Amino acid sequence: MPPQTSSSKLRRSPAPHSLVPSLLDWFAIAARNLPWRRTLDPYAIWVSEIMLQQTQVKTVIPYWERWMRELPDVAALVAAPEQRVLKLWEGLGYYTRVRNLQKAAQQIVAQHAGHFPRGFDAVLALPGVGRYTAGAITSIAFNAPNPILDGNVIRVLTRLFGIRGNPREKTTNAQLWLLATRLVQAAADSQPSTLNPQLPAPCSALNQSLMELGATLCTPQNAQCPQCPVQSLCAAHREGRVGELPNLSPRASATSREFHTFVMERGGKFLVTQRPAGGVNARLWEFPNLEVTGLRLAPETSAKQLLQVTIRCEPLCEVKHTITRYRITQRVFRVRWPSAEASVPAHTRWLCMPELHALPFTSAHRRILCRVAAGI
Ligand code: SF4
């Protein structure tokens, strides 16, 4: 038997245009009713797309609704003080995203007279906007035939087309972008769905149908193939390879890190510090803390190192969280400040509870603050 060629493999894959009607009709009836799907405002769609990076839909909904109430357009975002913008983002994490949103809004005012640009290249030139996000905004807001490729779409396309290569490798990634392009271009040539007159325009609907399929049916585990609108055309389903695709290399295992964190009270006020500009979680607030990974320090020793005072530490709680590849444990201690005269470290402030609640905190320290406020 002759060796299998790439063209014979492709012959077993569905033609992009054959998938489009089923995807559009399915999206017409199955699309979740998400608040950012009720608008064509590119600003609102942009904010939703940035929030949805690394964050689940159900988490994003209340954040997006509050953001749109408080900062409804580019001008409002440009005018907002940084601390207010950070407060609106507090808890979503990955704060570079929100800093880039404000930088991009400033660029829109400077270069586009405050009007959100329509062209793909102009959208791609905004800080924090990559190829996926530019494709999502321009296809959803303007029905432009620009492709999208994120984790959900990669999963759907590798399974539908039976692609065995690692999607993180250059050649396979380029192949997936090409397929995504062919699909959205085929949608541009198609008739709008008759099943739902409210359905978005075809390029928008096609891209969103791929995202939706990956989020709801073609999931990493337990894909719901019997309910899938394109099951009859799916190479992975036909060949029994759904569980094998996408062929992603295993991620590096998480690294454990440990911090000692000190909740210090003096006369109803608590000592907090603002993180420096330019680093991780820049200009967010937190309780004084010290990384002790591998050091096996007693909390009194780390408190002395951090605060230059000798104090007795009483365990308060433990807060665990994960950021990118780090599994972080905060061991939190309650301490009484030794005397009113003792000087506090630079960049720290004593603040009362209402003042603390008004500040943007990092997610872990917000949890610590809530526990302290609840008296736990
Ligand atoms: S048939 Fe299954 S594996 Fe194929 S696209 Fe649909 S849900 Fe995904």
Q: What is the pLDDT of residues 267-303, one digit of tens each?
A: 889 999 999 888 889 999 999 999 999 888 899 999 8
Q: Separation of 40 CA from ligand 1 center, angstroms?
A: 29
Q: How far apart are CA 61 and CA 36, in angstroms?
A: 9
Whether 318 sits among the annotated catalytic residues: the reply is no
Select from 244, 279, 314 the last residue of a domain.
Answer: 244
Pocket of ligand 1 (CB under 6 A): 156, 159-160, 217-218, 223, 225, 228, 230-231, 234, 236-237, 242
Q: Are residues 217 and 360 in the same domain?
A: no
Confidence of residue 196 (pLDDT cuts 50, 70, 90): low
pLDDT of residue 323: 83
Q: Separation of 267 CA from ligand 1 center, angstroms?
A: 61
Q: Are residues 182 and 291 in the same domain?
A: no
Confidence of residue 177 (pLDDT cuts 50, 70, 90): very high
Confidence of residue 7 (pLDDT cuts 50, 70, 90): very low
Confidence of residue 199 (pLDDT cuts 50, 70, 90): confident
Task: State pTM to two decimals.
Answer: 0.88
Q: Report the relative pairing of strands 255-266 and 326-336 from DSSP bridges.
A: parallel
What are the tokens at 45? 């769609």
Does residue 93 lie within any of the structural domains? yes
pLDDT of residue 310: 84
Burial status of residue 213 (CB atoms within 10 A of its CB: 0-12, 13-18, 19 or more) = buried
The domain spanning residue 334 has which CATH number?
3.90.79.10
Q: Average pLDDT of 248-272? A: 90
Q: Are residues 178 and 111 in the same domain?
A: yes
Q: Are residues 234 and 329 in the same domain?
A: no
pLDDT of residue 308: 82
Q: Is the pLDDT score of 161 beyond 50?
A: yes
**In 3D, which of 275, 283, 271 has the Cα closest to residue 309?**
271
Confidence of residue 210 (pLDDT cuts 50, 70, 90): very high
Confidence of residue 173 (pLDDT cuts 50, 70, 90): very high
pLDDT of residue 109: 98
Q: Are residues 220 and 277 in the same domain?
A: no
Does residue 1 lie within any of the structural domains? no
Select from 223, 244, 265 the last residue of a domain.
Answer: 244
Contact 365, 280 (CB under 8 A): no
Q: Are residues 125 and 48 in the same domain?
A: yes
Q: Separation of 238 CA from ligand 1 center, angstroms?
A: 10
Q: Is the pLDDT score of 195 beyond 70?
A: no
Q: Going by CA atoms, what residue is nearest to atom 2 of ligand 1?
A: 225
Q: Are residues 150 and 227 in the same domain?
A: yes
pLDDT of residue 1: 37
* Residue in the block written with tokens 């008004």: 358
Does residue 336 lie within any of the structural domains? yes
Q: Are residues 66 and 187 in the same domain?
A: yes
CB-facing half-sphere around the CA of 350: CA atoms within 13 A? 12
Contacts of 270 (CB under 8 A, 6+ apart): 263, 264, 287, 350, 351, 352, 353, 356, 372
Select from 211, 244, 277 the last residue of a domain.
Answer: 244
What 3-state class would DSSP assign to 322?
A: strand
Start-to-end C-alpha separation, the chain: 72
Q: Going by CA atoms, what residue is nearest to atom 4 of ligand 1?
A: 234
CA distances from 92 to 29, 53, 55, 100 (A): 30, 10, 7, 14
Ligand 1 pocket mutation, candidates 22, 153, 156, 216, criterion most atoms within 8 A of CB? 156
Contact 274, 284 (CB under 8 A): yes
Share of residues in the chain with pLDDT > 70 (%): 93
How high does pLDDT run on average in the chain?
A: 91
Q: Is the pLDDT score of 220 beyond 50?
A: yes
Does residue 170 lie within any of the structural domains? yes
Q: Is the pLDDT score of 337 beyond 90?
A: no
Contact 80, 63 (CB under 8 A): no
Q: Are residues 259 and 214 in the same domain?
A: no
* Residue in the block written with tokens 């400077």: 110
H-helix segments, 129-169: 131-142, 151-160
Q: Average pLDDT of 101-127? A: 98
Q: How far apart are CA 82 and CA 279, in angstroms?
A: 15
Q: Are residues 228 and 319 in the same domain?
A: no
Strand (E) positions, the chain? 255-266, 269-274, 285-286, 289-291, 313-323, 326-336, 348-351
Contact 204, 183 (CB under 8 A): no
Q: Are residues 227 and 278 in the same domain?
A: no
Q: How far apart are CA 111 and CA 117, in angstroms?
A: 9
Does residue 92 lie within any of the structural domains? yes
Least confident of 62-66, 69-73, 164-168, 253-257: 253-257
Does residue 250 lie within any of the structural domains? no
Q: Count of domains in the chain?
A: 2
Confidence of residue 192 (pLDDT cuts 50, 70, 90): low
Q: Average pLDDT of 324-337? A: 90
Least confident of 108-112, 162-166, 180-184, 198-202: 198-202
Range of the domain at 54: 7-244
Query: What does 90-140 look like in DSSP terms, one character per residue?
Result: TTS--THHHHHHHHHHHHHHHHHTTSPP-SHHHHHTSTT--HHHHHHHHHH
pLDDT of residue 106: 98
Contact 288, 306 (CB under 8 A): yes
**In 3D, which of 227, 237, 210 has the Cα closest to residue 152?**
210
Q: Are residues 106 and 188 in the same domain?
A: yes
Q: Separation of 218 CA from ligand 1 center, angstroms?
A: 5
Q: Average pLDDT of 126-142? A: 98
* Residue in the block written with tokens 């894909």: 223
Q: How far apart are CA 303 and CA 289, in angstroms?
A: 8
Does residue 121 lie within any of the structural domains? yes
Does residue 110 lie within any of the structural domains? yes
The domain spanning residue 92 has which CATH number?
1.10.340.30
